[in-house]
A and B are shown apart, each in its own frame.
Chain A
């Protein structure tokens, strides 16, 4: 990313903040007089060597250092005057050298703060190395391109010209001046920038933008404007982060900028000094090739660089710095960086490992829990999974079901051999795995216990407590006792599990607080909570559907009962109305017929009148019977002996010659309870059943009617079976046998109220009449009557 792009894209978070910083930059002291004078000379082509020489000579220490530089460079062994040095080095070179030394002094003479993170010496070393590298690269470029190797000042007429080595040097030297500026203006904030960059192995410019709202490239270029530094320097400062290939050519000095960019990369690659940029920019060969240099040229530059740094260090006032020292420092730095990187990687690795273990555990947990989990399954699987995550040999997972009002306690324990140890789990534990017998399973898990929620005590505080490990003794003591039993050690720490329903459970451990897995446990707790919530929802849904099914069954039954009751009420009302309305005319018919039927009237008429009267009474009887069926008189229950009644009934039917003594049998076991019901109504019930049976046996050769009585298993009822061997009923007939006015005999043969009346009377006496029949095989009527409790016969 080029600096332009960076500036374009990254809008400073607080413009006012950036502006404040820039204002501070502009408040820095101006350049020393010598530097100002030298700068004026550069802009004026008519400048004379004399002026420069005078300017330099006015600063004694500067003069001494310039002469030393010339001597070191080995270009003039006997040089001892500034005059001579200027001739040897060329005017521009001297000017640039002096300028750099002056600027360096501006910053390096500030007092070093104790504990400062920004190492100025290393910073200048980096800057110096970049300057030297830029100079060497410029020389290489000049070497391969004779057109650009001219060193005369008149070349400035061309808009774009090859950078001269000394120009490249000063551009490189000052490219990072913005850092020095920011450090000078905001030392503490800049320490933060450095700390953050070093921690993250990032780019210092990013940290600067985060903290100041602008980076050192911008701050530096603003300083360049402030100091009116030459454009080539300003551009190099501004754009030194860009890549050579992407640097726009319409700049005044694009080649200078590119040289500095490449030099910066090269120095960072060689790790000379402190650059604050840990990011990699791709192979250095590529960058060098982008400005048209060969790998061999790169190699020459790399070789020559330490010596040049050594030579120039002294000049700019950085003190003596041998090329060997440069190398060693560079190596040491690279090593330290590697070590730090390694440490950080190891740390990241450890964290990743933990997360992957967590993920694996969650995945395993998901598999174990299944799609339709129960609280037991979730707590069991969670205990097992946590055993693998927490650095502990025993874990308990408590799951609370609001719906069941039950607390499930599942424990997992690992013995010293990492083998399953189920025997150590007390209580009526249910083993979780069928595979436990093969001994391959790593954790011993069982649902230790379940206790009613109201016994567990008040769990509300756990629901409200903070997130993270809490002291276990906050739990209600009754619950804690059970947990301690499951752990076989006093529970010390507890991690609450919550979900949409609120408190869902807790993880518990014994011993020290598990700190190492702090990152993982909340995630696990959330997942466990989610599954417990799902279990709760499933349970609630099932409860609801069960209740619904039961209610709809009840509703159906009560609807049927209601329909029957309503139809009976309607029949009753109808019958009552009909009885009144019909009996009046019937009374008139009957009365008039009786009046007709008197002495002296024709015999035919008398006979007809008698018939009319008889049938009027019969019609009235039917109406009355229907009314009695619909609105039977309330039973007057008494306690009486069943065998007495049955024998009376039997005798009555034998007397009527309907059945013989042999054909009608009664079986009553000793000790049969007495019956509690309306005696007369039950007698009607028997009569109706027997009448039906007798009619069914009409065509039987050997009729047989057996009444068998026995107490019900519950002793609350007496069950009477009345079995005949008559013609029986087809299923259709059986189904309607007890409906009022139904008769399968030819019309007019019976009123059809018999069995329905019997059933009705049995019902109002707290009993029940059912019929079982097969066509051709006879019918069995089963009559249940309430037994008189405590009244055995």
Chain B
């Protein structure tokens, strides 16, 4: 029953599997993002209050939820790697960090582009923006710690501990920032939260969300393949792979 699990931890097998899965993630992702973009930018009706500016949410919301999801996935991967000493889980966690950091940057960028016409300012010390910024710092710290070790195994285990400490801290940061802000300036919290969203606006968002998740999976396949290549650069199975492709 656990055979597939053990097989997955073998680098050559994982390398091939990731290569085989990649098109199955990538092309549906392209299709879904195309449908979602068309649905969001053309088909969805204009918001009666925010006009066309609300349409940036079709990029903003999926990247915001992925920025958090990827962090949790990274911490889970790091924990699996630390507990069962699975090198591949560490490779997964290492590959997560840059993708997640980019989703966070994208969230912040789209958020401030949205904020300019809506709130009249590029940056607002809104709890969501602030906690997203702190999340970016956590990603950057994780990557900085990885980069400072020459030995991959050490980098894996040290950064795994940081990822786990970070994931315990994320809810604390989140709630402390919300609480900090609610004392400062009450009404701004509800600025972003739409009371309800109409079906014609909702479906492109869901399609986009799914497209982003598949896109993450496709990029992950690429990244984990290059991560495996980097770690196994002296292994003999690489020459066989070379002959195959």
A binds B: no
B-binding residues in A (CB < 8 A): none
